[in-house]
Amino acid sequence: PVEAAPEWLSHLNPPQREAVMTTQGPVLMLAGAGTGKTAALTHRLAHIVRERLAWPSEILCVTFTNKAAREMRERVGKLTGGALEGMPWLGTFHSIGAKMLRRHAELVGLQSNFTIIDTDDQLRLLKQLIRDAELDEKRWPPRQLAGLLDRWKNRGLNPEDLDAVENEAYANGRGQEFYRKYQDRLKALNACDFGDLLLHVLNILRREPDILKQYQQRFKYVLVDEYQDTNAVQYLWLRLIAQERKNICVVGDDDQSIYSWRGAEVANILRFEKDFPGAAVIKLEQNYRSTPQILAAASGLIAANSERLGKTLWTEMPEGTKVRVIGVWDAPEEARRVGEEIERLEREGAPLEQVAILVRAQYQTREFEDRFIQIGLNYRIVGGFRFYERAEIRDALAYLRVVAQPADDLAFERIYNTPKRGLGAKTLEKMHQHARRTDQPLAAAALELADSDELPARARNTIAGLMQGFLHWREQAEKVTPSELLRIVLEESGYNAMLSADRSAESAGRADNLVELARAMEEYETLGDFLEHVSLVMDNDRDGGGEKVTIMTMHAAKGLEFDHVFLPGWEEGVFPSQRALDEGGLASLEEERRLAYVAITRARRRCTILHAANRRIYGQWTSSIPSRFVEELPDEHVESETTMTGGRSLWQANWSESEDPFAHVVQNRPERSQARGPGWQRALATGYDTKQVRVRENTRSAASFAAKPRSDLPLGSRVFHDKFGYGTVMGQEGNKLEIEFEKAGTKRVIDSFVKAAD
């Protein structure tokens, strides 16, 4: 029996109040989107503090993101009258895990100042181990091992816990051996990875009864939001900690489980009632977020899933408008259309903060960013980088910038060793030194170094090869379209190979982003025009405050809400994603459908879904089929609309590059290079060939490109060189000197590297 609820809880509904007031014993709150689960959890926390049932430091409260933790802290502060001085144990599983681990690091062989390594470090470490074992890293890539380690750790498995099948998953039965070696290495480095933040803590709680007892005593209350996305190791440590007092309240929605690819197990919901018998199960059915139309559309869609607990949702919100489904011609029209709709909302007085565009994959943001910049609509990308800021996009742009503008030192520095070519910091320093002394661009300096003995033979060859590449690409740039040039550069520079050797989930996203970049370039006649566009876009990124439209992935939008939500790209292969379709399993399709449910239920007032009839993939138009999720939306809650304002004939739109009636122009484009803009002409003019650096136009680099020999070092003069020591000038060719060194023998060096010895 719940005691009468105090006044400050009166705006909550009865089951919510029950969730707040049932502080003793386990509570499972299971309810659909927007029913006020997070709100109830927040009030529960505030209630515990207000009633002094526990000090803030005696409450463990887990949120799914750091942002959610900040928001909860703020709200609880307000609800308790700001009396809350900190909640040390409010955060994500990882942040809480890190905090616990620092206190007991020595128990797992670490010191309390251990470092948490990132994925890059992890891969480097694994690579080392694989090499030391003389395994073929192509056959057994570090990424694969990293993925397995992650999976094992998410399931709470230590090396000794692996069974035969798991052990077999890497290098013919050496999974366990590598797992063990990796953990030993980490220990030696006083480091741990993200998975360890959870696993080490679980191990400590399991092996040290005293410490477990301590935490069981300390945490009088445990609260967990987004419970459906916990994984096994998280569940296991929650269970240990809460097992004593059993005051644990978990909150979730099985229909919103969208992280199984990160080891989340929705079965944890079912387990909870078994492990905490007698748990109060609270169902919330009233939705406070969305209109009946939106709610009915989302409920109709999720009903197609077979694996669900099932639930009813209702709302008292005004009827609202039906979910709109708009079919457009292609992606640019999709972005144009969304832009127009948002401008209209703005005119009607809707704050931009209440507008969101939720995409399935990161690459989809590009089209919107470009369009919004064009029409001057402020936007922010949440939970990711803006398209042109992503590492792989910056890399690709850096290559193109060096092709267009050999004097672009920043760009050159970014990619001279990406992908890894074995050119280290020493080489870079040498290049800088030489560029400074001779007042020429880095690339030109590198080229000169490659033709001297200043660098070891290997570095020289590598640099020469790279510069040869740039020469070739510069030639290609005159012959092919900008997007074709990008494809050539990515292929020939080894960038594509680097990505495909990388088997992580992110690497697929990176490849998609690069395809999207090529697609963006297709709209531009010349490389110069495109790069100019990019610099404008990048500049716009620096704008300050003001209201902004939010662009983010559906995954990142979990738990959030907006008045107006746009969901573009609802086509087979985009959403559901191609990967989900390729895997073909029911489970992956159902997870995509849950994601669709999460996406639609973010909307409070209006939800607009879009799909394009055509997408351009690798320069080829392909027609796309609307997502099956569009079909699955109940008709009576949907209003469909098809616009084909693109103004193109089907014939034009459907040609592929080879059938392009202007193909001959593409292949052999002298006319086109005439037609290119001034940026391009400039780019061509600053080109140089590999051997003889030649000036073609008056730019910053012009004066220095032609190497002037030094007049103060005539034949026979004695000189000193930092690396080779003393010697005598025996010959001179341009700025290169042939010097017979007393110790190092005869070398070709660049004159700016030597000084007169007397």
List residues binding ligand ATP (CB under 6 A): 11-13, 16, 31, 33-39, 253, 256, 288-289, 559, 561
Q: Which residues are catalytic?
A: 37-38, 225-226, 256, 602
d(CA 513, CA 393): 7
Alpha-carbon separation of residue 642 from 327, 637, 647, 692, 732 (angstroms): 4, 17, 14, 59, 73
Question: Measured between alpha carbons, how far is 370 from 301 in angstroms, rounded to an integer?
Answer: 32
* C-alpha closest to that of 196 among 107, 275, 260: 107
153 is in an annotated binding site: no
Q: How far is the CB of 327 from Mg ion (least distance, A)?
A: 32
Q: Which is nearer to ligand ATP, 17 or 434 (CB)?
A: 17
DSSP3 helix / strand / coil % (the chain, rounded to 5): 50, 15, 35
CB nearer Mg ion, residue 15 or residue 559:
559
Residues 6+ apart with CB under 8 A from 202: 156, 233, 236, 237, 240
33 binds, among Mg ion, ligand ATP, none (CB under 5 to 8 A by kind): ligand ATP
CB burial of 532-564 (b: ≥16 within 10 Å; e: otherwise) equals ebbeebeebeeeeeeebbbbbbbbbbbbbbbeb
Q: Is 731 annotated in some ligand binding site?
A: no
Q: Which residue is nearest to ligand ATP (CB)?
A: 36
* Helices (H), ranges, 81-231: 93-104, 119-132, 142-154, 164-168, 175-188, 194-207, 209-218
Please say which residue, 407 or 607, places its beta carbon nearer to Mg ion.
607
Least separation in angstroms between residue 301's CB and ligand ATP is 15
Shortest Å distance, C-beta 43 to ligand ATP: 9
Q: With binding defined as CB under 5 A, does residue 34 bind Mg ion?
A: no
36 binds, among ligand ATP, Mg ion, none (CB under 5 to 8 A by kind): ligand ATP
Are 298 and 589 in contact by the 8 Å Cβ rule? The answer is no
CB of 404 to Mg ion, least distance (A): 48
Question: Rounded to the nearest whole angstrom, what is the least distance from the CB of residue 6 to ligand ATP in the complex?
Answer: 15
Measured from the CB of residue 168, what is the shortest distance to ligand ATP in angstroms? 40
**Residue 16 interacts with, from ligand ATP, Mg ion, none (CB under 5-8 Å by kind):** ligand ATP
> If contact means CB under 5 to 8 A according to the sort of partner, which of Mg ion, ligand ATP, none does residue 126 touch?
none
Q: Which does 95 bind (CB under 5 to 8 A by kind): Mg ion, ligand ATP, none?
A: none
Q: How many CA atoms lie within 13 A of 146 on its CB side?
A: 23
Residue range at the interface with Mg ion (CB under 5 A); choices 30-38, 168-176, 242-250, 523-531: 30-38
Torsion angles phi and psi, residue 355, rounded to 5 = -120, 130
**Of the listed pieces 37-45, 77-85, 372-380, 698-706, which binds Mg ion according to CB under 5 A?**
37-45
37 is in an annotated binding site: yes
DSSP per-residue letters across 633-684: S-GGGEEEEE--TT---HHHHH--GGG-TTHHHHHS-HHHHHHS-HHHHHHH
Ordered strands of the 736-741 beta sheet = 745-750, 736-741, 725-733, 718-721, 754-756
Shorter beta-carbon distance to ligand ATP: residue 168 or 285: 285
Q: Is 32 annotated as a binding residue?
A: yes
Query: Rounded to a whole number, what is the largest CA-CA distance in the chain?
Result: 104
Written as one letter, the residue type at 371 is R
- Closest approach of Cβ 657 to ligand ATP, in Å? 45
The structure tokens listed for 32 are 């659909």
Is 31 annotated in some ligand binding site?
yes
* 156 annotated binding-site participant: no
C-beta of 462 vs 601, nearer to ligand ATP: 601
Q: Which does 415 bind (CB under 5 to 8 A by kind): ligand ATP, Mg ion, none?
A: none
Looking at the Cβ atoms of 320 and 559, the one nearer to ligand ATP is 559
| 38 is an interface residue for Mg ion by CB under 5 A | yes
Q: Residue 48 Cβ, how far from Mg ion at the closest point, in Å?
A: 19
CA Rg value for the chain: 31
Question: According to the annotation, is 725 in a ligand binding site?
Answer: no
CA 686 to chain centre: 36
Q: Which is nearer to ligand ATP, 142 or 252 (CB)?
A: 252
Select 33 or 232, whichever has its Cβ closest to ligand ATP.
33
Instruction: Tell which positions 546-585 bind Mg ion, by CB under 5 A.
Output: 559
Question: Half-sphere exposure (CA, 13 Å, Cβ side) for 371?
Answer: 20
Count of beta carbons in the 10 Å neighbourhood of residue 187: 15
Q: Tell me if 704 contacts Mg ion by CB under 5 A.
A: no
Q: CB under 8 Å, gap of 24 or more: what pairs does 735-738 form?
A: 735/438, 735/448, 735/707, 735/708, 735/709, 735/710, 736/451, 736/452, 737/713
Answer with the entry of ligand ATP, Mg ion, none that 175 interacts with (C-beta below 5 to 8 A by kind).
Answer: none
Q: Is residue 430 marked as binding?
A: no
327 binding partner (options Mg ion, ligand ATP, none; Cβ < 5 to 8 Å by kind): none
CA 181/CA 159 separation, integer angstroms: 10
State the binding site for ATP: 31-38
Contact residues: Mg ion, CB under 5 A: 37-38, 559
